[in-house]
Structure 1
Amino acid sequence: MSDTVTFLQNGYNGEVLEDLLTYTAQGNDTFREGLIHIKSGIQYKYTLPAIKLGDIIQDNNPVPTSALGAKGPQGENEYQLTARHLIPQDFMVYLEFNPRDYEKYWKFAQPEGNLVFRELDPKIQAVMLRLLIEKKNEYIGNAIWTSCKGGDAVSGIAVPGGATPIGGGKEKYFDGFIKRVTDNANATDAETIAGGQVIISGNTELTTGQETEDAMYTMWKKCPKQIRKKTELVFLCSWDVWDMYDQYVSNKTVKYAENGDLNRYRFKGKKVIPLVGVPEHTIILGQFSNSMDSNFWMGIDYANDTEVLKIDRLQSNSELFFFQMRMKMDVNIVRPAEIVVHTAYKKAP
C-alpha cells in the first residue's frame, strides 16, 4: 500500500468515491507473529508464579534424618517458588472529528433531509475505525518493547546515539521489555530478580553484519542448555539488525541464497524474526509464543479490552463525533534466567 494518498476524481470532487485509501499503518508484529501470551480478566494484579525443585538425590539410608533432608544454599531438597506480577495500567484512545469535513469524499453517504438528523454512515465508520485500530495496534506494538512507566525522564537507561528512546512520547504507562530486562539485569532485590536474571551476552552497538553474526553466536553459546531444543525458542531483532545480517550473508563466498533472494530467517536452526517495535542494536533469544509456555506475557483487564470502542456524538447539540477506547495493560517476563539479550541499551551511570 502506498504511503502517499492521492485522490483522482476526474473533476467530480469525490462524487463517485466509495473507498478511502489510508496511509500505511504499522500494525503490531508482536501480536501477528504470536510472540506474547495474553492474560485477560486482570482488574488489579496477577501473579506469575514459577516453581523450581533443587537437588533431591542423597545417599541411601534406612531412616533418613533431618540432616539428610536439610535445605542447602542451592535450593537442595526444597521447592523454590518465585513470583513476578502483571499490574495493568490505565490509558485511553480518544479522537474527535466532524463527519462533514469528509462529505466531499463520500457523496453516496450524504443523506437527504435536515442536517441536524444526519448520522454517520456505517461504511464511513468502518473505514475510520480500521485506521484507528491500526494506529492503536502500532502504539501497543512499540510500547510492548520500549515503554517505561513514568516516561523517559525516569527510565534510567542510556540510549545509543540516534536510537529509539525508552519511555519516549506516550510510551509511559507501563514498563516494556527493555526496561524490564535492564532493571532485572542490574537488580539485587529479591522481587526484581525473581526467576533469575537475564543473561546479557553483549552491550555493544551493532553496525555491521559481521558484528550481528558474532553476537548471535555468543548468544547461542550462553543460551541455557535445557531450553535449546524448545520449539518456541526464537531470535528476535529489529529490521535494521536483520538487514545488516542479510546483506552480510548474501555477500559471503558461500552464500545461503542468491544475492537477489532473501536469506532464510534462521540461525542455528532457530527462527530469526525481525520485528517493528524491537529497538536498534538489540537481539533477543528466548521462548516466545502465544501459549502459556511463553516467557513473555501481557496482562489486560477484559478479554476484549483492546477492541471495545465507543462511537457517539460528542453531545446532543454538536455535529462532532468521538471514538473512545479505555484500556489497561502491562507486560512482564516470566523466567528471566531463560532469556539471552544483546543490547546497547544500558543502565545509566
Structure 2
Amino acid sequence: MADTVSFLQNGYNGEVLEDLLTYTAQGNDTYKQGLIHIKSGIQHKYTLPAIKLGEIIQDNTPTPTSVQGAKGPNGENEYQFTERHLNPSDFMVYLEFNPRDYEKYWKFAQPDGNLVFRELDPKVQATMLRLLMDKKNEYIGNAIWTAAKGGAAAAGVAIPTDSIQIGRGKEKYFDGVIKRIIDNVNATDAQTIAGGQCVVSGNTELTDGAAVEAALYAMWKKCPKQIRNNPGLSFVIGWEAWDAYDQYISDKMVKYSENTEVNRYRFKGKKITPIVGIPEHTIVLGQFTTGMDSNLWMGVDYANDSEVLKIDRLQANSELFFFQMRMKMDVNIVRPGEIVVHTAYKKA
C-alpha cells in the first residue's frame, strides 16, 4: 500500500482494489475471530441458495412406478430450494485534511522545495490511511450486528433498558444480524423465513453471571442435534455478559480456574467468542467461520471500479486534500433454522 498510494493520483487499480476492500471489512472483531465469510465483488445482488431433500425412503418394489415418486405436502420425494440474498447498499467514507499539519511528526518525511508541490512520504500516507480505516472498521464491526436499513425509526425493534439502539446513527444502510433474526422469527412470508426460522431459547435480560449460564444451558438444549458436532459451532457473546459469567464461575466453590486467570472460553466443549459489536442481553449460537460453510455472510463491493479510494487535492487553489471511498455492503444469515439465539430485543 505504501508504494502505491499517492496524494496526487485519482484512484486505485489492479489487485490493490481487492486488498483494500478486504482490509476495510476485516478490521473488526467479527472477522478477526473468524465468525463471518466475506464475499467481495457483489455489484447488485447475490443469491445464497440452500437445498433440502424430503423423505425418499420407500417400500421395496420390483418395478417402481410414479406413485413411489409422487411429491407429498411436506416435500416428500423432491429437492426443496430456498434462497436468501445479499443486496449491498451504498455508503461513503470522506475526510478532508491539510498534509502540512503532519509534516512535523515525521522528520524523515519533511519535504524540500516549493510548498505548493510538496507531497508526504508514502509511508506517512499509508499510516494516515490505516488510521482512517481503523475508525471505519469500528463502524463496520458494530453495523454487522446492530444495523437496520432505514435507521432506528424503520427498524421496528424494541430494545432492553439502557441498551444499544438497533439502527442507531449511521448504521442505516443494511440490516444487521439482530434485525435479520428478529424479522425472521416474526415473519410468515416465504422469503424472510427461507432456510427455516431461528430458534429463540430465551428473551430475558442477562443481568448477572447466573442468568448468562442459564441462557447458555437453554441454548445448548435447543441447538439442533445435527449441527452439535460441527467444529465451527460457537457461542457469540458481548464482553459485558462474558465478564459477568467469568466472575460467576470463578466465585463458585468448585473453581474452574484461579481468580487471577480467565476461565476457558468454552461451554459444553463449544467455543465462546466475546466480541465488540454484539448488543447487550444477546447471545447467538451457530456455525460461524470464515469459510463458505459459515452461517453468516457479508457481501461487499466498490461502487466505482476505477475510483475505490480517491486521495486528491480538494481544489486547484487549496492546500487541503481529501480521502474518499465509496462502498456497498450487506449482511445476511444463510440457514436461519440452524441458529439459536437468546436476546431481550423484540419486535416492536
Under a length normalisation based on structure 2, what TM-score does the superposition of the two structures give?
0.89
Matched, 1:141 2:141: yes
- Matched to 1:238, the amino acid is G
1:123 has 2:123 as partner = yes
Instruction: Give the superposition deviation at 1:308.
Output: 4.6
Q: Which amino acid aligns with 2:207?
A: T
The one-letter amino acid paired with 2:73 is P
Establish whether residue 258 from structure 1 lines up as the match of residue 226 from structure 2: no
1:108 Cα deviation from its structure 2 partner: 4.1
Q: TM-score, normalised by structure 1?
A: 0.88
Q: Please report how far the alpha carbon of residue 118 of structure 1 lies from its aligned counterpart in structure 2 after TM superposition.
A: 1.6
AA at the equivalent of 1:119: E
Unmatched tracts of structure 1, length 5 or more: 1-25
Aligned residue for 2:51, secondary structure, equals strand
Residue equivalent to 2:47: 47
1:238-266: CA deviations, max 9, x gaps?
Answer: 00010010000100111110011100000
Q: Within the alignment, does 1:231 sit opposite 2:231 as a pair?
A: yes
Does structure 1 retain, via aligned residues, the 8 Å contact 2:50–2:83?
yes
2:97 corresponds in structure 1 to 97
Distance in 2, matches of 1:27 and 1:301, equals 16
Give, in whole Å, the separation in 2 of the partners of 1:313 and 1:243: 47
1:203 alignment counterpart = 203
Q: Could you tell me which amino acid in structure 2 is paired with residue 255 of structure 1?
A: K
For 2:51 and 2:75, the matched residues in 1 are separated by 11
Work out whether residues 41 and 302 of structure 1, in 8 Å CA contact, stay in contact via their aligned partners in 2: yes
Give distance in 2, aligned partners of 1:27 and 1:230.
Answer: 26
Secondary structure in 2 aligned to 1:301? strand
Q: Percent sequence identity over matched residues? A: 76
In the other structure, the counterpart of 1:23 is none
Q: Render the CA deviation track for 1:201-258: whole Å, top value 9, x for unaligned.
A: 1111000101100000000000000000000000000000100100001001111100
Cα distance in 1, alignment partners of residues 203 and 158 from structure 2:
11
Instruction: Output one character per residue of 1:116-155: Cα deviation in whole Å (capped at 9) or x when no partner.
Output: 1222232321221111111111111111000011100100
d(CA) in 2 for partners of 1:66, 1:114:
86
Please say if residues 40 and 303 of structure 1, whose CA atoms lie closer than 8 Å, have aligned partners that are also in contact.
Answer: no
In 2, Cα distance between equivalents of 1:67 and 1:106 = 80
1:166-185 aligned at under 5 Å gives the runs: 166-185=166-185
Q: Distance in 2 between matches of 1:219 and 1:200?
A: 8
The answer to whether 1:88 aligns with 2:124 is: no
Q: SS of 2:220's equivalent?
A: helix
- Which residue identity is paired with 2:248? Y
CA distance in 1, matches of 2:56, 2:123: 65
* Partner-residue secondary structure (3-state), 1:293: coil
One-letter identity of the residue aligned with 1:96: E
Q: Aligned partners of 2:29, 2:54: CA distance in 1, in Å?
A: 38
Matched residue, 2:64: 64
Q: For residues 184-199 of structure 1, what are the structure 2 equivalents within 5 Å? A: 184-199=184-199
Per-residue deviation, residues 44-102 of structure 1 (Å, max 9, x unmatched): 10110000001101212223333332222221111110000000111111100112233
SS at match of 1:129: helix
Deviation at 1:303, TM superposition (A): 12
Aligned partners of 1:68 and 1:127: how far apart in 2? Answer: 67
The secondary structure found in structure 2 opposite 1:38 is: strand
Residue 8 of structure 1 corresponds to: none
For residue 314 of structure 1, what is the aligned residue in structure 2? 314
Q: Which stretch has the larger CA shift, 53-62 or 334-343? A: 53-62
Of 211-220 and 113-122, the range deviating more from structure 2: 113-122
